[in-house]
A and B are shown apart, each in its own frame.
Chain A
Amino acid sequence: MKFLRDALDGIKPNFTSGGKWEKWNPVFETFETFLFTPDHVTTSGSHIRDGVDIKRLMTVVVLALFPALFFGMYNIGYFHFEQLVALGQQDSYTFMEAFLFGLWKLLPIIIVSYAVGLGVEFIFAMFYGHSIHEGYFVTGMLIPLIVPVDLPLWMLAVSIVFGVVIGKEIFGGTGMNILNPALVVRAFLFFAYPTFMSGDKVWVAGASEVDGMSGATILGQLGSGAEAVVDKTYSVMDMFLGFIPGSIGETSTLAILIGAVMLLLAGVASWRIMLSGVIGAAIMSALFVLWGANPLMDFGFKHLLVGGFAFGLVFMATDPVSAAQTNTGKWIYGFLIGFLSILLRVLNGFPEAVMLVILLLNVFAPTIDHYVVQASVNRRNKRVEDKIKKALSA
């Protein structure tokens, strides 16, 4: 380690102000703080409440994503080989084969995600002369988990440039964004290249080259209305464990729950948002069961297990930057996400509902907070007024 430190110290003067490569200081600083704990100290009074900094916060979230990530890898291989078996091209496959196939498919997506996203961050950091923030660390891991496996990589790259620039950098970078950048990337993909983001061919690796194979998601099948289209049924256990087609990381509710527990134990995500989201979705699902006009309504509480609901609620809605900040606000925010997700899903037949609802609520989060704060101010004012009145009348 000593030689690394010496090497860094040796070239450091070039990067400090006045040095030869002064412009590249953010890049240098990022690598330095990546390798070593920064030795910066605050010059005036500080407000430390905890030993946690952004980097460690982000690391916890990425670790919490690992169960979903690993299951996603297996899921890719599982559906790929199931398809081959169904076609009679292969007799059997092992667990490791499926996992390695998924790893092989997922790795390029992750690499593109980080390379492009960090590239954009580097460029902006250099132009604006601020240091490179760690915000993309999580976003770069979220993005591969919310796209279909067969998405062309160049589309992913274009969308990431759009998402990071429009979703984050124009607002001032990490911590300033009003929208969740990963969801902006997905929304852009969905509207720009709809044929690659929905339908029955994109969810299983290699399915587009096979005629007659269908890997439609459960919501996609239900949404298309005709029950005859439902050519494959999945048990509730399949839905819970994740043996269903879908975006890479969203299929397994169990893996997402493990991640949720990690986030809650570390105190990174808000339990209020998660709980109220589940309550909202449960209420809406129950209401639709009472209505029961089509298969999507009859789907009931299974709505909580399929599609992007669990993943969105645990990893997207709880993003501390774009979510509501007040405790009451978080209850309202989470509840509306759950409630509206199911509402849109069912009445619009729109499997992407969770993504759009979270983006919508991201936009409304400051409004919710504003009214929560105002209500509190009014309540306190009233208390004081009452006291004064009482004192005067006494």
Chain B
Amino acid sequence: MSDVEEKEALFSKKNRQLLINPLDSDNPITVQVLGICSALAITVKLEPAIVMSLSVLFVLSAGNVIISLMRNIIPSRIRIIVQLVVVAALVILVDQVLKAYLFDVSKQLSVFVGLIITNCIVMGRFEAFALGNTPWKSFLDGIGNSAGYGLILVVIAFIRELFGSGALMGQQVIPDSFYDAGYANNGMMLLPPMALIVVGVIIWVQRWFNPSLEEAN
């Protein structure tokens, strides 16, 4: 089995699928419905959403590689504990880096950096992919899935910050003349329920364009 894989090109069609599929047809949030909690909690503003996406990108790709490297020596009965140790170590690393260099954002993200440990996407990819695939493929899978996660996060945060605070990345983008003319920020956008509704609308729009995703019932 392994010699077949060695012959495969670094970016063969299959490997490219690993990167691209999670962006749309196998998106972790809108199709696998994983990682919803953080999508609701830290998407009020764009900046924390981006930082969160990058953190998950690091944790998931590095974790996937590590788990994949150890996949043949992890006894399957204690694999969850091993996975937890790996992800916890990586998350602590991310947390410390954020505290050192991005203290404000780190405060905004507060407990949610630590909660990457329990982010379903991370454990889900370890279990479903890294345990059964080579490090390179796992790396691509990690990048792809966290990019799909980040994409949705950024879209939600963009909508919520634009309409909720009239700003993007903390900079006001809706001109004062709008406010003078009677425009008002939408307070509902700042509340978590609206994030859920935005996720729902994204899922709806995505399935509108991609009917094959619709569940038969």
The A interface, classified by DSSP as helix, strand, loop or mixed, is: helix
Partner of B187 from A154, A166, A193 at Cβ < 8 Å = A193
Partner of A196 from B184, B188, B197, B200 at Cβ < 8 Å = B184
Within 8 Å of chain A (Cβ to Cβ): is B186? Answer: yes
Q: How far is the CB of A175 from chain B (nearest CB, A)?
A: 19
Among residues 134 to 175 in chain A, which have CB atoms less than 8 Å away from a CB atom of chain B? Answer: 152, 154-155, 158, 166, 170
Q: How many residues of chain B have a CB within 8 Å of chain A? A: 11
Partner of B197 from A152, A154, A166, A194 at Cβ < 8 Å = A166
Do the beta carbons of A192 and B187 come within 8 Å of each other? yes
Binary flags per residue of B24-56, CB closer than 8 Å to A gives 1, else 0:
000000000000000000000000000000000
**A-chain residues with CB within 8 Å of residue B211 when the two chains form the complex:** none
Do the beta carbons of B182 and A191 come within 8 Å of each other? no
Interchain CA distance A193-B186 in the complex, whole Å: 6
Binary flags per residue of A52-94, CB closer than 8 Å to B gives 1, else 0:
0000000000000000000000000000000000000000000
Report the nearest B residue to A187, measured CB to CB: B188
Q: How far is the CB of B127 from chain A (nearest CB, A)?
A: 33
Within 8 Å of chain A (Cβ to Cβ): is B103? Answer: no
Do the beta carbons of A192 and B189 come within 8 Å of each other? yes
Within 8 Å of chain B (Cβ to Cβ): is A188? Answer: yes
Do the beta carbons of B191 and A155 come within 8 Å of each other? no
**A-chain residues with CB within 8 Å of residue B183 when the two chains form the complex:** 154
Report the nearest B residue to A191, measured CB to CB: B188
Partner of A194 from B187, B189, B200 at Cβ < 8 Å = B187
Do the beta carbons of B182 and A154 come within 8 Å of each other? yes
Interchain CA distance A191-B191 in the complex, whole Å: 9
Report the nearest A residue to B189, measured CB to CB: A192
Do the beta carbons of A170 and B204 come within 8 Å of each other? yes
**B-chain residues with CB within 8 Å of residue A195 when the two chains form the complex:** 184
Q: Among B183, B187, B189, B191, which residue has the most Cβ atoms of chain A within 10 A?
A: B187
Interface residues of A toward B: which range?
10 to 19
**A-chain residues with CB within 8 Å of residue B200 when the two chains form the complex:** 170
Interchain CA distance A102-B188 in the complex, whole Å: 30
**B-chain residues with CB within 8 Å of residue A191 when the two chains form the complex:** 187-188, 191
**B-chain residues with CB within 8 Å of residue A193 when the two chains form the complex:** 184, 186-187
**B-chain residues with CB within 8 Å of residue A154 when the two chains form the complex:** 182-183
Report the nearest B residue to A166, measured CB to CB: B197
**A-chain residues with CB within 8 Å of residue B188 when the two chains form the complex:** 188, 191-192
Interchain CA distance A307-B200 in the complex, whole Å: 33
**B-chain residues with CB within 8 Å of residue A170 when the two chains form the complex:** 200, 204
Interchain CA distance A392-B194 in the complex, whole Å: 61
**B-chain residues with CB within 8 Å of residue A166 when the two chains form the complex:** 197
Interchain CA distance A193-B182 in the complex, whole Å: 12
Q: How far is the CB of B160 from chain A (nearest CB, A)?
A: 12
**B-chain residues with CB within 8 Å of residue A194 when the two chains form the complex:** 187
Report the nearest A residue to B208, measured CB to CB: A127
**B-chain residues with CB within 8 Å of residue A196 when the two chains form the complex:** 184
Do the beta carbons of A155 and B184 come within 8 Å of each other? yes
Among residues 78 to 128 in chain A, which have CB atoms less than 8 Å away from a CB atom of chain B? Answer: none
**A-chain residues with CB within 8 Å of residue B204 when the two chains form the complex:** 170
Q: How far is the CB of A185 from chain B (nearest CB, A)?
A: 12
Q: How far is the CB of A153 from chain B (nearest CB, A)?
A: 10
Interchain CA distance A195-B189 in the complex, whole Å: 15
Among residues 188 to 217 in chain B, which have CB atoms less than 8 Å away from a CB atom of chain A? Answer: 188-189, 191, 197, 200, 204
Interchain CA distance A188-B186 in the complex, whole Å: 9
Report the nearest A residue to B191, measured CB to CB: A191
**A-chain residues with CB within 8 Å of residue B186 when the two chains form the complex:** 158, 192-193
Binary flags per residue of B162-183, CB closer than 8 Å to A gives 1, else 0:
0000000000000000000011
**A-chain residues with CB within 8 Å of residue B191 when the two chains form the complex:** 191
Report the nearest B residue to A195, measured CB to CB: B184
Q: A166-B197, A170-B204 are in contact. Are A152 and B182 (CB under 8 A)?
A: yes
**B-chain residues with CB within 8 Å of residue A152 when the two chains form the complex:** 182, 184
**B-chain residues with CB within 8 Å of residue A192 when the two chains form the complex:** 186-189
Interchain CA distance A371-B52 in the complex, whole Å: 44
Interchain CA distance A170-B204 in the complex, whole Å: 9
Interchain CA distance A194-B184 in the complex, whole Å: 10
Q: How far is the CB of A29 from chain B (nearest CB, A)?
A: 24
In the complex, 10 of the A-B residue pairs with CB atoms within 8 angstroms, ordered by the A residue number, are A155-B184, A158-B186, A166-B197, A188-B188, A191-B191, A192-B188, A192-B189, A193-B184, A194-B187, A196-B184
Kindly list the 4 A-B residue pairs having the minimum CB-CB distance in the complex, ordered from nearest: A192-B188, A191-B188, A192-B186, A192-B187
Which residues does A use to contact B, with CB under 8 Å?
Answer: 152, 154-155, 158, 166, 170, 188, 191-196
Given contacts A155-B184, A170-B200, A192-B188, 15 further A-B contacts (CB under 8 A): A152-B182, A152-B184, A154-B182, A158-B186, A170-B204, A191-B187, A191-B188, A191-B191, A192-B187, A192-B189, A193-B184, A193-B186, A193-B187, A194-B187, A195-B184
